[in-house]
Amino acid sequence: MKRIFLLVYLLINCGVFLSLEAQPKNLSMEDAILGQWRQFYPETLSQLSWRGDLSEYTYVKENKIMLAKPGDDPTVLLSLEELNSGLKENEIESLRRIPRFSWQSANVMEFNLRGALIHYDFVVKKVLLNLNVNSKAENQNFCNASNTVAYTIENNLYIAGKDGQELAVTTDTDKDIVNGQAVSRSEYGISRGIFWSPNGNQLAFYRKDESNVTSFPLVDINTRVGDLREIKYPMAGMGSEVVSLGVYNLHTKKTSWIKSNDFGSDQYLTNISWGADNKYIYIQVLNRASNHAKLNKYEAETGKFVTTLFEEKDDRWVEPSHKLVFLKNKPNLFIYQTNNRHGFNHAYLYNTEGKLIKQLTSGDWEITEILGFDKDEKYMFYVSTEVSPIDRHAYKLNLKTGKRYRLTNDEGYHSVQVSADGKYILDNYSSLKVPRIINVADTRGKFVKELVKAEDKLKDYNLGEISLGTIKSADGVTDLHYRMVKPADFDPNKKYPVVVYVYGGPHAQLVTNRYLGGSRLWEQYMAQSGYLLYILDNRGSANRGKEFEAVIHRQCGQPEMDDQMKGVEFLKSLPYVDADKIGVHGWSYGGFMTISLITNYPDVFKVAVAGGPVIDWKWYEAMYGERYMDTPDENPEGYAKTSLIAKAKDLKGKLLICQGAIDPTVLWQHSLNFIRECIKNNVQVDYFPYPRAEHNVRGRDRIHLKQKVSNYFDDYLK
């Protein structure tokens, strides 16, 4: 008996005897889909920001607003109890938690409370503004200068001030006329439809006339007999919306209309910018062909055209995507961004007469964000891809000398906030194996204090190894970045099935040097199941310059497939890849790529799952489709070559298509026509609609979607 006890003792202390608790855990599908944003989300500081124009930062912790100066320990600035006490004194109901807020000034918080916009001065414990907004209001845009909020109700525009009176700016009864909303299907940098002048005395707004736009029916199955909801959808080569810009004067109660007719009614009015003097509005006017843009200047009061500051042209496309950034101390100067001059998105300094003062940045890399300026506007702060296309780093640029300084030195993907005086930054970053680090540093490059170093909440889970690398594109020259997730419990002597996840289209980048390589935990769920995941950013994707992206012009999907096949060639060279078991999965443009790959390379891809796929670009929206493909009449060969209707007969492997039944982006028409063509050719295909989903399947429904995707690969690829 003593010998038995001794043996057990030795086994335990030598680590041979393992408890069940020491075994690595597996992710459930719920873990993989919802857990990424819940229990596995890396530690952070909630609502971290600079406090107004002070070099002090705040964040929310345990229902307290914490405050610190760079280098100091945090103290409590305001507790929930203190906030509620102040609200009660102003006859406002209590809050259950610190709300989402922003700093109006160093002492004044702005937040929404039960439909009201609140400005609260926590020092004097007084509500400075309690603006009740119509419960039907959408697209709210508050103006600090006038303490007035503009918003839309259905198709009309309204404003309301401190007195609570609602004033209708527009009163259109024709449902084809839409005021105050984003236009052009939010392409070309357009994200909203309401634009306050700096002094708050005038309000510019979009008006679109959709009379010439065809309607598409969406069916709401929630009612007993089904309700029909029609949406306006301008398809490539067909009638489109007519956009104009109105300017409402709050004093005269009159609206002037900007007189813009550079390219007739078929034109885009993009990136509306108010001049710092409140007198002029600047619009980047783009023709419908998207190959000729003008930066125009207009009188706000009369709508009169003043001058064209400069023009940009390109045989492929011009893509104005950034508002002008005016300097406060020199309001006759502004910063303009474009990738059309030197092949990469860079910043240029102009005056308001259209004279180029200087090119501020240059090189084979892109500015991805302008962060702001120091108080004297001696320096501009920005984020770029200069270190690597998969990294992001912050810099400060001397506007006079052109000398720039790198502010973030640790490898990875940095998100940065600059203090109002330009002396400090809050640096929030991650990298492949670093979940999150948040530091305070000064803008001379000196580290000040570490605020967060997040632990890896997945350290006890059975994960596949993630690696980042490059291969050459089909042109033999360009480096393409990939992410590979090896199967959990990887054995180099085994062969594994592969799932290629693809997007491939413009304005998207899947591979970044962020935590987990920018991946979703579903990839790790699949790795647990014995798959190798491979993700490649082909030519045509984002943040690599104009030429990298414009290779797709008039032939969407073709060079992208060439590059993806180079990825497959690389995969087949790996001894642990089962070349007979390669599948592909993607959504939206990625759904288009998925079906393109399995039909063009039926002997390579055995299984595919496509979500919300574009099938034929003639059924897609004009603003996107015509930019990259021109119109069907101008490019019949390109439309024919890229259409997947004719490819349905070539399908050999197993294909599952998932589709949101009320998708307003890629209409149901696409996938249903592909199914119809499969039926005509007696080609078997699997199909699963999500009745209440739009373009993406969200929430708990997504658990069902990703389980269906996973099961499909388990059934037919393993």
Per-residue three-class SS string for 659-690: EECCCCCCCHHHHHHHHHHHHHCCCCCEEEEE
- Give the domain ranges of the chain: 46-132, 135-205+247-323, 465-717
pLDDT at residue 265 in the model: 87
DSSP 456-515: -TTTTB--PPEEEEEEE-TTSS-EEEEEEEPPTT--TTS-EEEEEE---STT-----SSG
Q: How far apart are CA 494 and CA 474, in angstroms?
A: 29
* Closest to 464 in 3D by CA, of 483, 449, 437, 445: 483
Radius of gyration of the CA atoms of the chain, in A: 28
Per-residue three-class SS string for 75-126: EEEEEHHHHHHHHHHCCCCCCCCCCCEEECCCCEEEEEECCEEEEEECCCCE
For residue 254, how far is the Cα from the chain centroid? 36
pLDDT at residue 22 in the model: 64
CA-to-CA separations, 464 to 446, 467, 472, 524, 711, in angstroms, rounded: 36, 10, 25, 6, 19
pLDDT at residue 9 in the model: 44
Three-class SS state of 155: coil
DSSP 588-644: THHHHHHHHHHHHSTTTEEEEEEES----GGGSBHHHHHHHH--TTT-HHHHHHH-S
Q: How far apart are CA 472 and CA 522, in angstroms?
A: 27
Which residues contact residue 213 at a Cβ distance below 8 angstroms, ignoring those fewer than 6 apart? 176, 232, 233, 234, 238, 239, 240, 241
Q: Please give the DSSP secondary-structure letter assigned to residue 409.
A: -
Beta strand 138-143 with 577-587: parallel, antiparallel or unpaired? unpaired
With vertex at residue 448, the alpha carbon angle to CA 444 and CA 450, rounded to the nearest 5 degrees, is 135
- 100-127 burial, b for 16+ CB within 10 Å, e for fewer? ebebbeeebbbbeeeeebbbbbeeeeeb
pLDDT at residue 164 in the model: 77
Beta strand 156-160 with 605-611: parallel, antiparallel or unpaired? unpaired
What does the pLDDT look like over 141-187, one tens digit per residue? 999 999 999 999 999 999 999 887 899 999 999 999 999 999 999 99
pLDDT at residue 520 in the model: 96
pLDDT at residue 17 in the model: 42
Token pair, residue 126, equals 């007084």
DSSP 504-538: -STT-----SSGGGG--HHHHHHHHTTPEEEEE--
> Which CATH number is associated with domain 135-205+247-323?
2.140.10.30
The helix-helix angle for 558-572 and 589-600 (nearest 10°) equals 70
pLDDT at residue 223 in the model: 85
What does the pLDDT look like over 588-624, one tens digit per residue? 999 999 999 999 999 999 999 999 999 999 999 999 9
Q: How far apart are CA 176 and CA 23, in angstroms?
A: 62
Q: What's the count of helices (H) and strands (E) in the chain, helices before strands?
A: 11, 44
The question of whether 603 is a catalytic residue gets the answer no
Q: How far apart are CA 179 and CA 245, in angstroms?
A: 9
End-to-end CA distance of the chain: give it in Å, rounded: 49
Annotated active-site residue in 342, 507, 695, 704? 695
The question of whether 588 is a catalytic residue gets the answer yes
With vertex at residue 696, the alpha carbon angle to CA 692 and CA 592, rounded to the nearest 5 degrees, is 120
Please identify every stretch of the chain with a pLDDT value under 70, giving residue numbers as ranges: 1-22
Token pair, residue 635, equals 């490019």
One-letter amino acid of 578: D
Three-class SS state of 574: coil
pLDDT at residue 21 in the model: 53
Could you give the count of Cα atoms lying within 13 Å of 242 in the half-sphere of its Cβ?
Answer: 10
Residue 112 bridge partners (DSSP): 117
The question of whether 260 is a catalytic residue gets the answer no
Three-class SS state of 430: strand
Token pair, residue 476, equals 């033999």
Report whether 642 contacts 619 (CB < 8 A). no
Three-class SS state of 379: strand
Note every long-range contact of 146-154, with CB atoms under 8 Å and residues 24 or more positions apart, other chains counting: 146/196, 146/199, 146/200, 146/201, 146/250, 147/200, 148/200, 148/250, 149/117, 150/180, 150/194, 150/196, 150/203, 150/205, 151/180, 151/194, 152/179, 152/180, 152/181, 152/193, 152/194
Annotated active-site residue in 430, 663, 670, 671? 663
Q: Which residue reads 């962060």 in tokens?
A: 371
Q: How far apart are CA 660 and CA 668, in angstroms?
A: 8
Three-class SS state of 213: coil
Helix (H) / strand (E) containing 157: strand 156-160
Q: For domain 465-717, give the fold.
A: Rossmann fold (3.40.50)
Helix (H) / strand (E) containing 257: strand 254-257
Annotated active-site residue in 519, 588, 596, 710? 588
Q: How far apart are CA 160 and CA 131, in angstroms?
A: 8
Report whether 614 contacts 506 (CB < 8 A). no
